[in-house]
Amino acid sequence: MTITLTEKEQCELWEEAQMNSLQNPEPDEFIYQVPRQLGKGYVREIEVYPNLWLTISDSEYHDDVLVKIPQSNHPLQFGVYVLGIYADNTLISGAGVQRSRTFENLEFQRNVDIQIHMPPEL
């Protein structure tokens, strides 16, 4: 089965999941559990320098999940996909306007990635 969500719907699920997530170990570190309705795993965000974020995620979804993301402003982003559908791929995304797109998580496909987000002036 495929679940299709808007970005707003996905954010609402993640906000609800935050209430059930682990306590944050450090003031500049956040750990979010994947919403139970969608799968299992976590996303860990660490502010390693003001406005410089390291994100580590390890997740597996129960169903195929498509998230429709509208055009938006986007930070500078570097990513490495360690395991999953995009394994052995890297990502460099320039700051500016990100065109609308659909992001896909496949059913029972474990995904592990590491990303760095920062404003272009940094």
- pLDDT tens-place string over residues 13-28: 888 888 766 666 677 8
Q: Which amino acid type is present at position 96?
A: G
Q: Which amino acid type is present at position 119?
A: P
CATH top class, domain 2-118? mainly beta
pLDDT band at 50 (very low <50, low <70, confident <90, very high): very high
Supply the pTM of this predicted model: 0.81
pLDDT average, residue stretch 70-82 = 85
10 Å CB burial of residue 39 (0-12, 13-18, 19+) is buried
What pLDDT does 42 receive?
A: 93
**DSSP of 42-94:** EEEEEEEETTEEEEEEEEEESSEEEEEE-SEEE-EEEEEEEESTTTTEEEEE-
